[in-house]
Amino acid sequence: MLAWQVKDSMNREWDGLAEAASALALVHASACDALLGCDTLDDIVTCCGDDRVCRALLALAQSRGPLGTLAGRVVLQAMVPALMEIASRHPGVEPEEYVSTAWLVIMSLDGARVRRAVLTRLVLDTLKVLSREKGRRSRLDLLATLDDDLTLAWACADRSDAEPLLDRARALHLVTDSTAALLRSIYDDGMAPALAASVHGLTHAAARQRSSSTIRRLRVHRDALLAA
């Protein structure tokens, strides 16, 4: 099936579920104040961008209680637009695989340990799993594409991923949160740059320009980054 067909199918299934299931029961079971006032399941889906809501629904889904499946399905519905947009641009993975993998991630991610943007983290983790399964470029290959002194510095310092360095760069105000997230997707999570651009709502050209200018800035401040 094509991405738009999978999206339509998921939406039709959702419409039937939304008519039959009780939003009020889910609001009560979640014990999340941010959901008070939600009258429909669609209202709850809209609220999933709130980290408090997403964490509460993940906890409920993973509890395997009577409303767990419904809670998980709500989170999945909130992910569908982003997943199918990405699937439509990157046909190397069947759209159905995005959905099935997202469900596994929903049932395994510890939302309490995610500092921010839980819904985005769910999408990114889904792509990360798919990337590993499909044998996309390894982290070392991606780091090598930087082809500059910074890559060598990472290697010599035995830093196996981008997270510590990006945290230091953010502390030194060398990179914004949004650009750090983009670079983390590419150099830590192992996404192809074009795919990472789609996830973060950027064109490939814009992502490339932002990444390049940031890498140049980090290179200038290499000593400060390594000493921090």
Token pair of 171 as six digits: 């502390």
According to the per-residue pLDDT averaged within each range, which of 104-118, 147-161, 204-218 is highest?
Answer: 104-118
pTM recorded for the entire structure: 0.62
Based on the fold, state whether residues 27 and 59 are members of the same structural domain.
yes
Number of domains in the chain: 2
> Residue 228: its pLDDT value, please?
54
% of the chain beyond a pLDDT of 90: 36
* Domain end among 133, 149, 173: 133
- CA within 13 Å, CB half, 222: 13
> Residue 136: its pLDDT value, please?
41
> Residue 153: its pLDDT value, please?
34
Mean pLDDT of the chain, nearest integer: 81
Q: What are phi and psi of 116, to 5 degrees?
A: -160, 165
Based on the fold, state whether residues 68 and 160 are members of the same structural domain.
no
* Domain end among 103, 133, 163: 133
Q: Per residue in 177-228, pLDDT tens? A: 898 888 887 776 667 777 788 888 888 888 888 888 888 888 788 777 767 5
CA quadruple 220, 202, 43, 61: dihedral, nearest 10: -60
Based on the fold, state whether residues 46 and 127 are members of the same structural domain.
yes
Based on the fold, state whether residues 67 and 176 are members of the same structural domain.
no
Residue 221 lies in domain:
139-227
Q: Per residue in 39-53, pLDDT tens? A: 999 999 999 999 999
* Domain end among 85, 113, 133: 133
Based on the fold, state whether residues 126 and 96 are members of the same structural domain.
yes
Token pair of 118 as six digits: 């839980």
